[in-house]
């Protein structure tokens, strides 16, 4: 079904779902992708697969260059080079400080992006920073959205991410066809910062579900239950969750590859804790789970995936 959102690309209106002369997706303007890590590389691939011209930039240039060689995308040596003439600029980086540097460093996005460009931060970052980027970008003629995602590495690979957007609604509608190349659940939440607030709520729920399935596995191990049968028994009932269905089996197999890094989850929970402290509210579960993951980071496990929490419960001295 033809989508109703329309965008002006290179002087022509192209609707999501339409093709150019019936020949498939046309190259609809230049896109810059900043951040080619675990998730960003897959997300950029989906845009390129739709026929868009994508230029990559990564602070570690070898990552962008390797992806460019594999896919035919272009790798740039600097943000200034990457964003030059781009109509859409996406970021998927690790920490708020990385987002801030990408925007404010000399030669960064605010210095180098063309007025009228859409700039979409898909990193998980601080809501207050999203508001500031929207305001400062607007003064330079840029249309800035915060649009963090949920779904991990598998969601990025399969283009099934949940995308939560904040900013001006007309800008969201303009970028929507590109979001649809990367995700399935795409929601406009409200003004700048509201995408990040929604992602914070998402991470609160994920923290609880992750700790819960980990403790269920620890309990099963202690009482002699077959953990695989246990997961099958409870997964279809009230205990069922995406985390239980997808991440608990990975933990059981000893697959601790990072669909989402522990170090990034710690960052997210600290953002949440800071937001609540400013409002005089305490979230005891978040603080408890944050403490568990900080313990793991102290053990040198911060580059594992979040499902590696089971390692902490398996320690003999715990």
Q: b or e along 68-81 (b: 16 or more beta carbons within 10 Å of the residue's beta carbon)? A: beeeebbbbeebbe
**DSSP characters for 76-143?**
-SSHHHHHTT-SEEEE--SSHHHHHHHHHSTTSHHHHSPTT-EEEE-S---HHHHHHHHHHHHHTT-E
Catalytic residue among 50, 199, 253, 270: 199
CB neighbours of 315 closer than 8 A, spacing ≥ 6?
A: none
64 exposed, middle or buried (CB, 10 Å; 0-12, 13-18, 19+)?
buried
d(CA 303, CA 306): 9
Q: Which residues, 6+ apart, have CB-to-CB distance to 162 below 8 Å?
A: 149, 150, 151, 155, 183, 184, 185, 186, 187, 202
Tokens of 27: 């190259």
- Does residue 27 have an active-site annotation? no
What is the C-alpha to C-alpha distance for residues 275 and 204, in angstroms, rounded to an integer? 12
Residue 182 — φ and ψ, nearest 5°? Answer: -115, -20
Interatomic CA distance for residues 277 and 155, integer angstroms? 31
Q: What share of the chain is helix, strand, coil (3-state, %, to 5)?
A: 50, 15, 35
Q: Return all residues near 210 (Cβ < 8 A) that are at least 6 apart.
A: 243, 247, 289, 306, 307, 309
Active site residues: 199
């Amino acid at each position: 079904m033809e989508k109703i959102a329309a965008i002006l690309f290179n002087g022509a209106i192209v609707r999501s779902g339409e093709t150019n002369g019936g020949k498939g997706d046309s190259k609809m303007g230049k896109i810059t992708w900043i951040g080619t890590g675990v998730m960003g590389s897959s997300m950029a691939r989906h845009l390129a697969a739709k026929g868009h011209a994508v230029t990559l930039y990564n602070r570690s240039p070898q990552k962008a260059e390797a992806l460019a060689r594999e896919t035919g995308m272009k790798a740039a040596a600097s943000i200034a080079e990457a964003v030059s003439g781009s109509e859409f600029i996406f970021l998927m980086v690790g920490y708020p400080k990385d987002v801030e540097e990408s925007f404010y460093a000399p030669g960064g996005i605010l210095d180098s992006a063309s007025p009228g460009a859409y700039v979409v931060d898909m990193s998980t970052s601080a809501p207050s920073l999203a508001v500031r980027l929207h305001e400062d970008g607007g003064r330079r003629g840029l249309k800035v959205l915060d649009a963090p995602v949920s779904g991990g590495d598998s969601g990025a690979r399969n283009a099934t991410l949940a995308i939560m957007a904040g900013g001006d609604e007309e800008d969201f509608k303009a970028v929507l066809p590109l979001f649809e190349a990367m995700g399935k659940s795409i929601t406009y939440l409200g003004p700048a910062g509201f995408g990040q607030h929604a992602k914070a709520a998402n991470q609160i729920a994920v923290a609880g579900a992750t700790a819960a399935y980990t403790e269920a596995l620890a309990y099963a191990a202690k009482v002699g239950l077959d953990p695989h049968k246990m997961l099958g028994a409870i997964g279809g009932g009230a205990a069922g969750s995406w985390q239980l269905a997808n991440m608990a089996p990975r933990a059981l197999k000893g697959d601790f590859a990072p669909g989402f890094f522990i170090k990034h989850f710690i960052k997210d929970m600290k953002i949440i804790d800071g937001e609540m402290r400013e409002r005089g509210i305490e979230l005891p579960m978040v603080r408890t789970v944050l403490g568990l993951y900080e313990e793991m980071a102290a053990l040198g496990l911060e580059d594992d995936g979040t499902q590696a929490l089971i390692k902490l419960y398996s320690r003999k001295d715990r």
